[in-house]
Structure 1
């Protein structure tokens, strides 16, 4: 079995839309079937400035050897920055490959559930759990305005993040407000939330 789950280990065909039933993939070309490790994916999302990049490193030490914690922005560059759908697809494929090593993935980054749920690679995961870190509008404005110039946080972009934060609060995903919460306490909440959803 290869690590790239889109590629059939029998005929080598690469599926544009993988077909999975439970933890078994089927090649649409040769009908070969093979098992794979199908785990839940954890998406730690939220608007920029709500604390994801602060909490992520705290979670790495808490989950060392159990769960892989990754920052989405490390691939937010070059061609992938010009194609958000490809950017999301690459991350799902990467997480699915890591799952073949038996460790669940926590993916930290600004993402709306529809951006993952509609992708062909969604079949690689038993579930995608979303925890959105949010903050008050005043707090987000203050944090984003304080960022270095190279991050290009102008007022229209800040307002977009505020709209996204408001959307998340009403989207039905789990939400945790970090406005007046210390980073360690936010990490405590995220750790408990993840642990309660890890497979047995």
Structure 2
């Protein structure tokens, strides 16, 4: 389902409205008043700089969380806007929020693996589609991150400029995680085995799932 289109009158809205209705929540049309049941579940953002292990850990989470969540990789909808300052990165973020909310209507919240920070999700109208967005940021020591990015295949395009930019983001995450709204939890992957990191992330997700 598309939470931006009313099932009653077919009108598109850029600002969805979710209301409490008895014991549950409903998606309410601002044009005709139509209401339909809507699962307002949490969204789990496994974030952090490129090279910290999000994609690799995400592959392991599919099995670890298969009974409760849907694990997806942000780069499935990769667009040039994330690299091109003239691109529309807002459309990319909002599309992911809409897609995650739509997937959640099947009864399982989404674990989204990709580089994102609270300011890139929390400010959009689609934020109302989720009960909470929880952020867990993978980080690692700068020298290790630099080595990991330099070792990536050439098609990924990790030149010195992009690497330094990502190192700056790594520093920002580590310095501001407790002050973002909501705060991000940090998990250092400098020396941790991938399977151990996946276990920690899985436990984090399960501890925050609705009962």
- Output the CA distance in 2 between the equivalents of 1:12 and 1:123: 20
Q: 2:114 aligns with which of 109, 113, 117?
A: 109
Structure 1's unaligned 5+ residue stretches are none
Q: 1:175 aligns with which of 183, 186, 192?
A: 186
Q: CA deviation at 1:35?
A: 2.2
- Output the CA distance in 1 between the equivalents of 2:115 and 2:26: 30
How many equivalent residue pairs? 198
Q: CA deviation at 1:79?
A: 7.2
Q: 1:138 aligns with which of 124, 128, 143?
A: 143
SS where residue 194 of structure 1 aligns? helix
Q: How does 1:1-200 map to 2 (within 5 A)?
A: 3-22=1-20, 23-77=25-79, 82-169=87-174, 170-172=176-178, 173-200=184-211
Q: CA RMSD in A?
A: 1.4
Q: Deviations over 1:103-138 (max 9, x none)?
A: 111000001111011111111100000000000100
Q: Is the contact made by 2:79 and 2:92 (CA closer than 8 Å) also made in structure 1?
A: no
Q: Is the contact made by 2:81 and 2:89 (CA closer than 8 Å) also made in structure 1?
A: no
- Output the CA distance in 1 between the equivalents of 2:171 and 2:198: 22
With structure 2 as the length reference, what TM-score do the two structures score?
0.90
Q: CA deviation at 1:34?
A: 2.4
With structure 1 as the length reference, what TM-score do the two structures score?
0.94
Structure 2's unaligned 5+ residue stretches are 179-183
